[in-house]
């Protein structure tokens, strides 16, 4: 069965790599945009193409070789967030590749994309219909839970699902660290890619960079210029309203900020920023930044940097293109699923 599941996913990988370039996905995308005002066709297209990177036969075989395939399947309830398109796909993939059954509670903000992807899977492997179930209602008859939500909803999850084997994820954010080019193992930062890390999906994902650490006397001009590639966001009502609102607040309260015309860049120590706002913090010594990252690791999803001086950092531009083995919250989902008896 494992090989059949891998084959089914690899077959649909080619379809997803073309984004919404087919009638079924386009229809699902349009329904998703109607349900979620933060979604648009371009962001859905990007999400599907990113997912497809995991679905080559070679990648799936190498990934699953490190784990067992369950001979007695459990039913795993996966409670999806709805902040970015098809955000629950990786959990869905892990549940099926580990040999278990999926009971997926869809977010009302994203209830079409995973269903359509599953229809493609059923076309390749009809027996998967017995292993995938979607619901928007209260979940029941399950053995373990994987739930993703905000800090508020995770308290609810802890209360209701604490007696089950579980992975419960809370709010996290991502950061960027710009290191001066004269440092060892450091390359010039690509600001176009950094802006993609910040603004893809309008900044709504946990892998979106919401704060950057920069050296003193940092020149923001290249970042400002790169942000103009996202000028179309100003035609999006929800994004434009956020941008105008916070810009007005800063002006009225005499708060110093940098206006790129697309994002407001403000000096703020917080890891978390709202949509259309990028926080920054100056640093003197890179060692201080490394210590801060270690202290805040439970609140950080990923770190991008132009330098290998930053432990576990990924390259700038890779925040929204995680590898299949880069698990959310750094919790190995496959290992958890293998542990279920």
Q: What is the pLDDT of residues 227-250, one digit of tens each?
A: 999 999 999 999 999 999 999 999
Q: CA-CA distances (angstroms) from residue 318 to 176, 192, 208, 313?
A: 11, 12, 10, 10
- DSSP lists the bridge partners of residue 305 as 177, 315
Q: What pLDDT, on the 0 to 100 scale, is given for residue 138?
A: 86
**Residue 151 pLDDT greater than 80, yes or no:** no
Residue 322 tokens read as: 């995680």
Residue with tokens 């053995």: 143
| CATH topology (fold) of 173-315 | Aldehyde Dehydrogenase; Chain A, domain 2 (3.40.309)
Going from N- to C-terminal start, the domains of the chain cover 2-171, 173-315
Percent of the residues in the chain that have a pLDDT greater than 70, as a whole number? 100
**Residue 183 pLDDT greater than 90, yes or no:** no
Q: What pLDDT, on the 0 to 100 scale, is given for residue 184?
A: 84
Task: Decide if 208 contacts 218 (C-beta within 8 A).
Answer: no
Q: What pLDDT, on the 0 to 100 scale, is given for residue 150?
A: 80
Q: CA-CA distances (angstroms) from residue 244 to 39, 234, 241?
A: 19, 9, 5
Task: With cut-offs at 50, 70 and 90, classify the pLDDT of residue 155.
Answer: confident
Q: What is the mean pLDDT of the chain?
A: 95
Q: What pLDDT, on the 0 to 100 scale, is given for residue 2?
A: 92
- DSSP lists the bridge partners of residue 75 as 101
**2-171: CATH, from 3.40.605.10, 3.90.1300.10, 3.90.730.10, 2.60.40.10:** 3.40.605.10
Q: What are phi and psi of 92, to 5 degrees?
A: -60, -45
Q: What pLDDT, on the 0 to 100 scale, is given for residue 265?
A: 98
Report CA dihedral (246, 250, 252, 253) to the nearest 10 degrees.
130
Question: pLDDT tens for residues 265-323?
Answer: 999 999 999 999 999 999 999 999 999 999 999 999 999 999 999 999 999 999 999 99
Q: What pLDDT, on the 0 to 100 scale, is given for residue 181?
A: 85
Mean pLDDT of 155-161: 84
Mean pLDDT of 159-172: 90
**Residue 154 pLDDT greater than 90, yes or no:** no
**Residue 327 pLDDT greater than 80, yes or no:** yes
Q: What pLDDT, on the 0 to 100 scale, is given for residue 108?
A: 92
More confident residue, 266 or 21: 266
Q: What pLDDT, on the 0 to 100 scale, is given for residue 238?
A: 95
* Positive or negative: CA dihedral 104, 5, 16, 122: negative
pTM of model > 0.85: yes
Q: What pLDDT, on the 0 to 100 scale, is given for residue 149?
A: 83
Q: What pLDDT, on the 0 to 100 scale, is given for residue 9?
A: 97
> Any residues with CB less than 8 A from the CB of 26 and at least 6 apart, and which?
20
Task: With cut-offs at 50, 70 and 90, classify the pLDDT of residue 152.
Answer: confident
H or E stretch including 73?
Answer: none
**Residue 217 pLDDT greater than 90, yes or no:** yes
Question: pLDDT tens for residues 107-136?
Answer: 999 999 999 999 999 999 999 999 999 998
């Amino acid at each position: 069965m494992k090989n059949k599941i891998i084959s089914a996913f690899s077959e649909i990988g080619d379809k997803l790599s073309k984004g919404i370039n087919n009638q079924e996905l386009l229809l699902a995308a349009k329904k998703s945009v109607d349900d979620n005002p933060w979604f648009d066709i371009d962001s859905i297209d990007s999400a599907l193409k990113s997912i497809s990177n995991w679905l080559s036969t070679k990648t799936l075989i190498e990934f699953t070789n490190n784990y067992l395939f369950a001979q007695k399947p459990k039913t795993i309830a996966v409670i999806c967030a709805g902040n970015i398109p098809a955000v629950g796909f990786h959990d869905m993939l892990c549940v099926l590749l580990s040999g278990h059954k999926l009971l997926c509670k869809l977010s009302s903000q994203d209830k079409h994309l995973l269903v359509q992807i599953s229809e493609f899977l059923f076309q390749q492997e009809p027996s998967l219909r017995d292993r995938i179930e979607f619901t928007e209602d209260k979940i029941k008859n399950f053995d373990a839970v994987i739930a993703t939500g905000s800090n508020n909803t995770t308290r609810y999850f802890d209360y209701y699902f604490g007696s089950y084997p579980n992975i419960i994820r809370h709010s996290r954010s991502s950061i960027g660290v710009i290191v001066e080019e004269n440092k060892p193992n450091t390359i010039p930062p690509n600001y176009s890619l950094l802006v993609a890390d910040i603004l893809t999906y309008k900044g709504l994902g946990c892998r979106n960079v919401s704060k950057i650490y920069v050296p003193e006397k940092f020149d923001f001009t290249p970042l400002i210029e790169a942000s103009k590639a996202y000028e179309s966001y100003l035609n999006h009502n929800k994004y434009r309203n956020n941008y105008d609102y916070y810009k007005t607040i800063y002006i009225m309260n005499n708060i110093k900020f940098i206006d790129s015309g697309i994002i407001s860049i403000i000096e703020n120590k917080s890891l978390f920023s709202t949509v259309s706002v990028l926080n920054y913090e100056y640093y003197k010594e890179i060692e201080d930044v490394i210590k801060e990252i270690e202290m805040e690791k439970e609140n950080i999803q990923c770190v991008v940097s132009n330098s290998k001086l930053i432990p576990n950092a990924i390259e700038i531009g890779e925040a929204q293109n995680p590898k299949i083995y880069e698990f959310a919250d750094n919790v190995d989902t496959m290992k958890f699923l293998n542990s279920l008896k």
